[in-house]
Structure 1
Amino acid sequence: MTTTIDDAEIAKFQAMAAEWWDPEGKFKPLHMLNPCRLDYITTQIAGEFDRDLRTDRPFAGLRILDIGCGGGLLSEPMARLGAEVVGVDAAERNIPVAQAHAMQSGLEIDYRHTSAEALIETGEPPFDVVLNMEVVEHVSDPLAYLTACQRLLRPGGLMICSTLNRNPKSYVMAIIGAEHVMRWLPKGTHDWSKFITPDELFTLLGKAGLDPVDRMGFVFNPIAWTWRLSERDLSVNYVTASVKPQTP
């Protein structure tokens, strides 16, 4: 079975698995970014599927796949909003961490140690939404990986994909700043050469059979110590939304 899993990348996250739910640990950057990510994700899903976020369980009836789920930082909010959630991760040690936390939180989430390609092989029913956050820069073949994600979506389904831009600023911020100066992440967590520009990602999404419909930046304010969404600044972290075309 063909796979886009990069074993060296998986080993990095295996080593950090126990720290997923520590807001001051090695995943502190994700905990800080998560409210901003959730703002974008929930708004896109609600708009695409005509859901009212003011209701108790606005995503009831939607089937959501969280690829690269880690410890469940996105899977759990999606489950609380009423979705049926499948969280998958290629790093085996992440799964029991995610399962234990979901149980403590009283949430039913289907966590699995597997990959997008393996889900296709086993005939997994299609999903309404695929969350593909901060994963594409860690795989061996981005186009093959995104194509596998597209195959897991139903026609009319939505994929949210975030990653890091590739330019001098992202090297300074994501590599030197986050890994060497702030020490938010272990050195070597990211490979700058595998970062993808927004235009490159839009091209890849199109080649994978998806229609890109939106992109926005995640911008960090070092004074307020917060993240915000930006329509103009995609220079470091950014997110995209794309839709799988309806079949004729």
Structure 2
Amino acid sequence: MQTGSVIAEEIAQFNALAARWWDDTGPMRPLHMMNGPRAAWVAARIAPRFPPGTRVLDVGCGAGLLSEALAKAGYDVLGLDAGGEVIEAARLHAAGQNLPLAYHHGTAEALAASGAKFPVITALEVLEHVADPRAFLSLLVSLLAPGGLLFLSTLNRTPASFMVAKLGAEYVLRLLPRGTHDWRKFITPVELGRHCRAAGLRLADTAGLSFSARLRHFQVSRDMSVNYLVMAEAVEGSRALPAPAR
């Protein structure tokens, strides 16, 4: 079942992992491994534009790995997710840490309808799980304040990503539950660039996020063949295409 950008089956799949989301040896281990490098990449690009305390919206936050990392870097973070169980896990983990961090169970569509605007929006590892990536980007732009920055990460649709992120991670190494990803929904950088332009965005920076088998961790690199990161900004005077009616 689908409601706007949300696919109910995807939400149910991630809700089922909520209890072990913060277990860095559990089913979310790959996210734990990549969270440090990706959060550092994002924070390093926010800092020249916006001071500590700037509001950040983390869309599709799950149980809050990125949200907590950005809050610890000094930003005022709102984590948003359509999964009630992952949001509860996020709140429980953040409790008592006295972080500038709040969580909201809901959709980006409902938040946009409220008129909310944010200087910085992140949506990492989300695009490959939404119903319509192009419409979802237009939705994110509607939440972006003038002069704001949008950060994305996703999986490239290449033979390498099929071997590494699908077969390797889900079936060989069993780092992720089977069925976590649909390789056909992975998005190439060319496709993402096209979607961004249609939404009124300009790609300002890109990078790969690669796993080093020797060092046993992820690192930012030039290799975008599997995971990659994007920073985009609204083009002044542009007008995003409207999202389809629900």
2:146 corresponds to: 155
Structure 1: gaps of 5 or more residues: 50-57
Q: Is 1:170 aligned to residue 158 of structure 2?
A: no
Q: Which structure 2 residues correspond to residues 22-101 of structure 1 after superposition, within 5 A?
A: 22-49=23-50, 59-60=52-53, 62-101=54-93
> Which 4+ runs in 1 deviate beyond 4 A?
none
Counterparts of residues 89-238 of structure 1 (less than 5 Å):
89-124=81-116, 126-231=117-222, 233-238=223-228
The root-mean-square deviation of aligned C-alpha atoms, in Å, is: 1.5
Looking at structure 1, the residues matched to 128 and 23 of structure 2 have their Cα atoms a distance apart, in angstroms, of 24
1:108, distance to aligned residue in structure 2 (A) = 4.0
Residue 244 (structure 2) aligns with: none
Matched residues, number: 237
CA contact (8 A) 1:102 1:108 kept: no
Contact 2:121 2:151 in 1 (8 A): yes
- Give, in whole Å, the separation in 2 of the partners of 1:14 and 1:101: 15
SS in 1 for 2:181: coil
Structure 2, unpaired ranges of 5+: 239-246
State the secondary structure of the residue aligned to 2:47. Answer: helix
What's the TM-score, normalizing by structure 1?
A: 0.91
Percent identical residues:
45
Tell me the secondary structure at the aligned position of residue 234 of structure 1.
Answer: coil
- State the shift of 1:172 in Å: 0.4
> Does the residue aligned with 1:205 lie in a helix, a strand or coil?
helix
Question: Partner residue of 2:229?
Answer: 239
Could you tell me which amino acid in structure 1 is paired with residue 104 of structure 2? R
Higher mean Cα deviation, 73-82 or 63-72?
Answer: 73-82
Mapped to 2, the partners of 1:247 and 1:80 lie a distance apart of 34
Measure how far apart 1:84 and its partner are.
Answer: 1.6
User: Deviation string for 1:14-51 (max 9, x for gaps)?
Assistant: 110111111101100011101110121011111333xx
TM-score by length of 2: 0.92
SS of the aligned residue for 1:104 comes to coil
